[in-house]
């Protein structure tokens, strides 16, 4: 499930947010304090952060923008006529979206999903399907699921179950032609997710390795060099066409 962290001062807002987020798809992690939010960011692979008005007005927003500038922020607030300063701070703090309590609950899941890290990966990686020689429907469906789920951990067996095919069939059909193997496709997406997280000064390579399920920072680095030929921090410097060129140009994968 997609993990979303929330720091909200109003219990009613937390209750409403829980109801608004679809069960089975979103995991809501409620922070009790700014310090607790920081711990959640280092224990879970967070897709977006939802903040209340107090956090938006205070030092929490400033600290998040300093340490986690790449993390999508959504303000969930009961706007009043005197909240012009809050809106100004949200704009200056590059808040991705503002949702109004009592008004925006029906569209809240879509608002969060549109700005989350997963959406950014989808926008960057889905268009690479043709360049990776992923042309039939099964390949494209698998590629979409890999982009969404690989950072949170997915095996080829789990992927095959979600696509209602045998693992051997999926592996064979996905890697047809010059397409990458399932393993390398999953590794590639995990590395893109790692690069997203490492764009935040609040994360070190060891932190990101733990969040993405690598046994060590050295394994994460080795995977980056084996897959893309660069250090993990340099993955962010590769544009989509370059990634596709590297991946599609490989031979002899298993």
Domain spans of the chain, in order of start: 2-115, 119-248
Give the C-alpha distances (Å, rounded to integers) separating 147 from 20, 28, 100, 129, 216: 24, 21, 30, 11, 22
pLDDT digits (tens, 9 = 90+) for 96-124: 999 998 889 999 999 999 999 999 999 99
- Mean pLDDT score across all residues of the chain: 90
pLDDT digits (tens, 9 = 90+) for 152-209: 888 899 999 999 999 999 999 999 888 899 999 999 999 999 999 999 999 999 999 9
CATH of 119-248, one of 3.40.50.800, 1.10.10.60, 3.40.50.150, 3.40.50.720: 1.10.10.60
pLDDT digits (tens, 9 = 90+) for 62-89: 999 999 999 999 999 987 766 778 888 8
Q: Residue 112: how many CB atoms within 10 A of its CB?
A: 26
d(CA 193, CA 204): 14
**CATH classification code of 2-115:** 3.40.50.2300
pLDDT for res 83:
75
């Amino acid at each position: 499930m997609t993990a979303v962290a929330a720091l909200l001062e109003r219990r009613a807002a937390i209750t409403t947010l829980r109801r608004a987020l679809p069960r089975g798809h979103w995991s809501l992690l409620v922070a009790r304090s700014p310090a607790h939010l920081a711990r959640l960011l280092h224990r879970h692979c967070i897709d977006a952060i939802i903040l209340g008005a107090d956090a938006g007005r205070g030092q929490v927003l400033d600290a998040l923008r300093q340490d986690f500038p790449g993390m999508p922020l959504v303000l969930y607030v009961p706007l009043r006529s005197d909240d012009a300063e809050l809106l100004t701070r949200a704009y200056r703090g590059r808040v991705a979206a503002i949702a109004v309590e009592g008004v925006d609950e029906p569209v809240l899941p879509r608002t969060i999903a549109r700005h989350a890290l997963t959406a950014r990966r989808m926008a960057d990686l889905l268009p690479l399907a043709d360049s990776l020689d992923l042309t039939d429907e099964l390949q494209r469906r698998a590629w979409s699921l890999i982009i969404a789920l690989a950072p949170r951990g997915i095996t080829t067996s789990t992927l095959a179950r979600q696509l209602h095919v045998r693992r051997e069939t999926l592996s064979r059909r996905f890697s047809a032609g010059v397409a990458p193997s399932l393993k390398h496709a999953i590794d590639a997406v995990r590395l893109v997710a790692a690069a997203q997280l490492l764009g935040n000064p609040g994360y070190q390579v060891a932190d990101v390795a733990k969040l993405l399920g690598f046994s060590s920072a050295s394994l994460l680095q080795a995977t980056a060099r084996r897959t893309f030929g660069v250090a993990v921090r340099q993955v962010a410097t590769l544009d989509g066409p370059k990634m596709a060129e590297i991946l599609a140009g490989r031979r002899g994968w298993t």
